Amino acid sequence: MSDDRRLDVLRAIVEDYVATREPVGSRALVERHMLGVSPATIRNDMAALEEAGYIAQPHTSAGRVPTDKGYRVFVDRLSTVKPLSAPERRAIGSFLEDAVDLDDVVDRSVRLIAQLTQQVAVVQYPSLRRSALRHIELVPVGPRHLLVVLITDTGRVEQRTLETDAELDELLVARLRVQLNVCVAGRRLSELTGALDTLTAAFEPVHVSLVASVVTIIEETLAQESEERVVLAGTANLARVGGADFVGTLGPVLEALEEQVVLMRLLSEMAEDEATVSVRIGRETQHAGLLETSFVTTGYGDEHGAIARVGSIGPTRMDYPGTMAAVRAVARYLTRILAGS
């Protein structure tokens, strides 16, 4: 039996099952697909695919449905991610480019992915660890309180308030602001330590305490993992579009989605995949609540590489080519927007 033909049969089964939500029989394959072989040959191929674990029969006298293993082969054999149409690309661009700040960009992106895929959308905020600092602002907010504002190249803004030992000298604060921005502009966290350590040498001993306190609060803010977060949209899509695909209940799926630590773990693991668009199918998510779902993600960032990820979660019976195309397209526009911000 031809391996190429067997893959054609598997691909046809996946496409038909995604489209109809019904188990696929040999007669349907003959009628809908130009496979170039007899129904008997297709039945033999389906038997071989079932024996190998790529498809399964949900109940007697039914057709066949893909297994996680079958979906994996289907996704891995996609030669390219199909491009979106020109109108779809224009719609994405115009929708995202009207955003006014980072929060608005993230909010628009997650709603857009949910709309395009009719699944749950996930957008991870740009990581402070992987972002570069664009500017630091120091604002006295009282005799002994200094507001430290960090603005990254992705538009993320973090604010911390520092209580000082002595009353603030506005001239000293202005001088420190200038020196800080000379040291940090365009640098990432990994590049900051040495630059900030030399900063205290530029100030008189009487001012070292203030400088050291500001440097410490900057380093602590950039190092905080607790600030990493994701935004979700479209959870109602699971009940409307994919509810019948979940054997038990939507409860475990929704509970898993509410656990930020679960999503952050998956996003972190998938960031290590070599594929441009990463896909975890069923048990590959390694979470009991997500065994009947698939997770499609890709990175977005700047000229230095990916700094966060966007994705879509839906039933394993999803339109993989369409979902991968939508996620990739939104990620590319996000990268373009952030690079130009």
Tell me if 156 sits within 8 A of 105, measured CB to CB: no
Record the tokens describing residue 14, joined without a space.
């996946």
3-state secondary structure 132-174: EEEEEEEEEEECCEEEEEEEECCCCEEEEEEECCCCCCHHHHH
Tell me if 9 sits within 8 A of 46, measured CB to CB: yes
Q: Are residues 111 and 237 in the same domain?
A: yes
Q: Are residues 335 and 238 in the same domain?
A: yes
Task: Provide the domain limits for residue 324.
Answer: 86-126+228-340
Q: What is the dihedral of CA 91, 92, 94, 98, to 10 degrees?
A: 140
Q: Are residues 24 and 117 in the same domain?
A: no
| Domain containing residue 162: CATH number | 3.30.390.60
Q: Are residues 50 and 197 in the same domain?
A: no
Domain membership flag for residue 285: yes
Spatial separation of the C-alpha atoms in residues 122 and 301, rounded to whole Å: 16
Record the tokens describing residue 124, joined without a space.
């991870």
| Domain containing residue 11: CATH number | 1.10.10.10
Spatial separation of the C-alpha atoms in residues 302 and 67, rounded to whole Å: 37
Question: What is the pLDDT at residue 1?
Answer: 38
Number of domains present in the structure of the chain: 3
Domain membership flag for residue 245: yes
User: Cβ atoms within 10 A of the Cβ of 336, count?
Assistant: 15
> Of 223, 243, 265, which marks where a domain is finished?
223
Domain membership flag for residue 79: no
Q: Are residues 107 and 232 in the same domain?
A: yes
Give kind and range of the element (H or E) at residue 313: strand 305-315
Question: What is the pLDDT at residue 226?
Answer: 43
Domain membership flag for residue 76: no
Domain membership flag for residue 122: yes
Note the pTM of the prediction, 2 decimals. Answer: 0.77
Domain membership flag for residue 164: yes
Domain membership flag for residue 72: no
Q: Are residues 117 and 235 in the same domain?
A: yes
Q: Are residues 119 and 152 in the same domain?
A: no
Q: Are residues 94 and 17 in the same domain?
A: no
Q: Are residues 232 and 330 in the same domain?
A: yes
> Of 223, 239, 272, which marks where a domain is finished?
223
Closest CA to 78 of 317, 265, 321, 299: 321
* DSSP one-letter string for 101-134: SHHHHHHHHHHHHHHHHSSEEEEEPPPTTTPBEE
| Domain containing residue 94: CATH number | 3.30.450.40
Q: Are residues 265 and 144 in the same domain?
A: no
- Is residue 264 helix, strand or coil? helix
Q: Are residues 232 and 336 in the same domain?
A: yes
* pLDDT tens track, the chain, 341 positions: 358 888 989 999 999 999 888 899 888 888 888 888 888 888 899 999 999 999 998 877 778 999 999 999 999 988 666 777 888 888 888 888 888 788 888 899 999 999 999 999 999 988 766 677 888 999 999 899 999 998 887 777 888 999 988 889 899 999 999 998 988 887 776 677 667 777 877 888 888 888 888 888 888 877 764 456 889 999 888 877 655 665 556 788 888 888 888 888 899 899 888 778 999 999 999 988 898 899 999 999 866 677 889 999 999 999 999 999 999 999 998 888 877 65
Q: Are residues 143 and 117 in the same domain?
A: no
Q: Give the number of residues written for the chain.
A: 341
Domain membership flag for residue 73: no
